[in-house]
Structure 1
């Protein structure tokens, strides 16, 4: 009798899909991605959106609530960040004694929609020296974010990188607050359950009118890329960069909107519709690894309880033939195909169909 696989331990994280107007054509846009340093990459040239792990001491500190109140941020402005829906994934649900109850003082709301935005902004500063924030004169909570210049940037970046709680100190000294309101909820992904140390990540989308100056943190970032989704996917197909499935999926659905203003309007509207956690469930189809996502006929009711790859007694084509509703991708060592023949949840964009990895887009 085989021993049961131990449960996956998902580490909570947040990422920013940062969108800027294209310098050559202001109607188009580019997104920021980072090549991980050789010391932190899973594979050579692994490329990701800025982001990282939730730090409970830094990001869930009640001192943030006190600072936001002192700064003049209205309570209602924080409440607007919190979606009161019954279908929230666990990563964005009320956190009980871990987050909600402990900081629900004087009717102030402290929720994962807030703390994960703090994580995303802090990590963006740690990785590329980009401080997305607002001064008191900018407290109009607009949809496009501001990038604050920081004196002695390298020193501050090092301080926050080494001690995340210093991010609050930085904001106090700069007399700014993190721009939580310009981060629009976009999607959520979790690592497959057979990975012993996985991540669950909320992706936010933020917009800037022009590309800000960046400072790469050398221990984490090898190179920064400002490119269109098309160009990034093409580099992936050519083998110049390597993406995990969430990055391929998100870039692929960005292909459906090519104009900056249209994407901004869509992201604002869609962010109020909630998020479905995409936790892939793997099937071994005679050597082909197929991962199914929510809405697929082979998706399971409790994907977080699946800690092994499921064996399917047939080929990938037979697996497809037994399914009417498809939401899946084939993987190894990158996404080779992506199929979706249903409406994506939460009013979202459908990804562009992915062709074999060596075929140019």
Structure 2
């Protein structure tokens, strides 16, 4: 079965996503946001907060924010994931929940364009990078003009803090169970890109935060990339995932896959 691969695929950009978890009335709930309809990538889609790495995410000073021992090789990805969640949804992953005044101050500083590290320092917030766990590493299929190599992190959300969207990339945010989000997509009320949908399917069977965190990888380092490939089959084109990646189904009809 031949794979459809372009002659020279675009090099994917490093990126990171943070999936914040909480135990709610529906059981396990995840923080998701709705992207602005005018964006070039995934307009109007429901996604997890995240984005590409920036130069400041690699700053050596972040090593001092790791509580004990040597930080992991993916520290810059953790910084990017926490930063993006704070910028887009106004909800930073910190060791202790921020007081309302401190949280509002952090949100105003980020909205005004202040550097993430400085905004944290001004509020005294301590990021909880060590409480994040890697779920998977998704790579955008090779035929697309905009590609990302994204680490998906899981973390329990700080208690009692609610998201506030930036109004730019994110125009709405909510807590919802994986099953609810999948049902709303099935009913045509929500748009999910492929990696988001597969992640929701992976977590749909988790009853609570502890069960979801148990899905995370424990072998350390960067996990093998999950690169969906377009393959022609007798039943029609499908996107195929690598065997053993931890996500099912391994094949999805191309007509049911949204990539952006």
TM-score (norm 2): 0.84
Q: Is the 8 A contact 2:28 2:206 kept in 1?
A: no
The DSSP-based 3-state class of the residue aligned with 1:148 is: coil
Once residues 118 and 42 of structure 2 are traced to their aligned partners in structure 1, the CA distance between those partners, rounded to angstroms, is 35
Residue ranges of structure 2 left out of the alignment (5+ in a row): 1-5
Q: CA RMSD in A?
A: 2.4
The verdict on how the C-alpha distance between 1:151 and 1:44 changes in structure 2, with shifts beyond 3 A counting, is: closer
| Correspondence for 2:3 | none
Deviation at residue 281 of structure 1 after TM alignment: 1.1
The verdict on how the C-alpha distance between 1:211 and 1:224 changes in structure 2, with shifts beyond 3 A counting, is: farther
The DSSP-based 3-state class of the residue aligned with 1:271 is: coil
TM-score (norm 1): 0.62
| Correspondence for 1:18 | 20
Q: Say if 2:138 is the partner of 1:189.
A: yes
Count how many residue pairs are aligned between Structure 1 and Structure 2.
Answer: 244
The partner residue of 1:127 within 80, 85, 88 is 88
The partner residue of 2:57 within 55, 59, 62 is 59
Q: Is the 8 A contact 1:9 1:196 kept in 2?
A: no
Structure 1 residues 30-53: Cα deviation after superposition (integer angstroms, max 9, x where no partner)? 111111011226455311001111
Structure 1 residues 197-216: Cα deviation after superposition (integer angstroms, max 9, x where no partner)? 21110000011364522210
Deviation at residue 273 of structure 1 after TM alignment: 2.8
- How do residues 1-361 of structure 1 correspond to structure 2 at under 5 angstroms? 5-22=7-24, 24=25, 28-40=27-39, 42=41, 45-56=44-55, 58-65=56-63, 67-68=64-65, 73-74=67-68, 76=69, 78-79=70-71, 82=72, 111=73, 113-134=74-95, 146-149=96-99, 150-159=103-112, 162=113, 166-208=115-157, 210-264=159-213, 266-267=214-215, 270-274=216-220, 275-285=223-233, 288-295=236-243, 327-334=250-257
Structure 1 residues 148-187: Cα deviation after superposition (integer angstroms, max 9, x where no partner)? 242434421213xx46xx1110122122332101111111
The DSSP-based 3-state class of the residue aligned with 1:5 is: coil
| Correspondence for 1:96 | none
Q: Is the 8 A contact 1:130 1:147 kept in 2?
A: no
